[in-house]
Amino acid sequence: MDLTQLEMFNAVAETGSITQAAAKVHRVPSNLTTRIRQLEADLGVDLFIRESQRLRLSPAGHNFLRYSQQILALVDEARMVVAGDEPQGLFSLGALESTAAVRIPATLAGYNQRYPKIQFALSTGPSGTMLEGVLEGRLNAAFVDGPDYSSGS
């Protein structure tokens, strides 16, 4: 199964016609027919009920359509995220409750104005818990208290 097959499947599901779907995805009808049959063989089910001059989704096809649409939407979203020049995505930040209440709001507000596509997830707790979160990859960064290790001593 590949993305092209999913795009072709969605086009046939939308149009109900191999010819119209082929025009929509810029392929010849024979190629589209072959790729749809390969997809059905891979899945082990008929995705369409073939009628004279028309294709209707089978019950399995209806179920599969939802997933196919979600997969293609996620692929489009992923492409937009990695192609954009502007930073975007989720940034998980940890902090002590006192720091989160007093020092972080103004900083995050300014950052959010400059980079509106960044979403912040703020977690609060003791320094040890926040450090564990960073080391285990649950947090991207954390504000903690403790000794200053920056000087190397």
Local confidence pLDDT in tens for the 153 residues of the chain: 999 999 999 999 999 999 999 999 999 999 999 999 999 999 999 999 999 889 999 999 999 999 999 999 999 888 877 776 777 788 899 998 888 888 888 888 888 888 888 888 899 999 989 999 999 999 999 988 877 655 555
pTM, two decimal places: 0.56
**Interacting residues of 97 by C-beta distance below 8 A, sequence separation 6+:** 124, 125
Three-state SS at 71? helix
Domains, in order of start, for the chain:
3-83 (1.10.10.10), 89-143 (3.40.190.10)
